Each structure stands twice: as structure tokens, then as C-alpha cells.
């Protein structure tokens, strides 16, 4: 079990913003679907640093992304 980020698509899409995506240290991990205006996490690549949570929660006060527990899927 380990932590990964998970974006709440419904809430995120209301802000038309991609700020957290621009600060994730990992390439091809925190993605943005332009057609629907929301961020989503490629969880197999997420290292669980929570910088995205700092950007969306602490800096922007939007709280649309959180850390969740996951297990390795085979």
C-alpha cells in the first residue's frame, strides 16, 4: 500500500485551470484532458510527493486533488 494522487474531475473541471500539472516533478504523470478541462493522474507513475496537493489546496485553495491509498495492481 502506498500513496498516490487522485484528482476530482467534476470539481476540477469547474476551474479551467492546469496549475498542478505544471508543477509535478514526474514526466507524463499528472495529465490534463483539454476536451473536458480536468487534470488526471497516471497513478502507475505517481511517486506520491503531494506537490500537486500543495498547489491546488494550499496555494489556490481549490482542494480538487488529494492523496489516496493504493495497492500494486498486477
Partner 1 sequence: MGLEYVRITTGFEDYMPKDYVDLVKYGQFGKEYDIQDLGTFKELVEEHPMCAGCFMAYFIRVFYASLPNPEDSIVIGTAGCARLQLSQAAVPFIYGNYGDTNAVASGLKRALEIRFPDKNKDVIVVAGDGGLMDIGFGMTMHSWFRRERFTTIMVDNEVYGNTGGQESGMSPKGVQLKMAPKGKKFDKINAVELAKAAGCVYVARIAPTNPKRLAKTIKRAILAARHFGPTFIHAYTSCNIEYSIPTEKVLEDARNREKNDFAFYEWMSDEVKGFFEQVETKKKEAQEVK
* Chain residues that interact with ligand SF4, rule: CB under 6 A: 5, 7, 12, 15, 17-20, 24, 26, 29-30, 39, 41, 46-52, 55-56, 60, 62, 64-65
How many Cβ atoms sit within 10 Å of the Cβ of residue 38? 22
CB of 1 to ligand SF4, least distance (A): 15
Residues 13-42 touching partner 1, rule: CB under 8 A, are: 18, 21-28, 30-32, 34, 39
Q: What element of type H or E holds 51?
A: helix 51-53
Q: How far apart are CA 41 and CA 65, in angstroms?
A: 10
Give φ, ψ of 21 to 5 degrees.
-60, -35
Residues that bind partner 1 (CB under 8 A): 18, 21-28, 30-32, 34, 39, 45, 47-51, 53-55, 58-59
Amino acid at each position: 500500500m502506498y500513496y498516490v494522487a487522485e484528482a476530482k474531475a467534476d470539481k476540477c473541471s469547474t476551474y479551467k485551470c492546469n496549475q498542478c500539472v505544471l508543477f509535478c516533478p514526474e514526466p507524463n504523470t499528472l495529465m490534463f484532458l483539454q476536451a473536458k478541462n480536468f487534470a488526471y493522474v497516471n497513478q502507475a507513475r505517481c511517486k506520491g510527493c503531494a506537490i500537486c496537493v500543495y498547489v491546488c489546496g494550499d496555494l489556490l485553495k481549490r482542494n480538487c486533488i488529494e492523496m489516496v491509498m493504493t495497492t500494486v495492481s498486477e
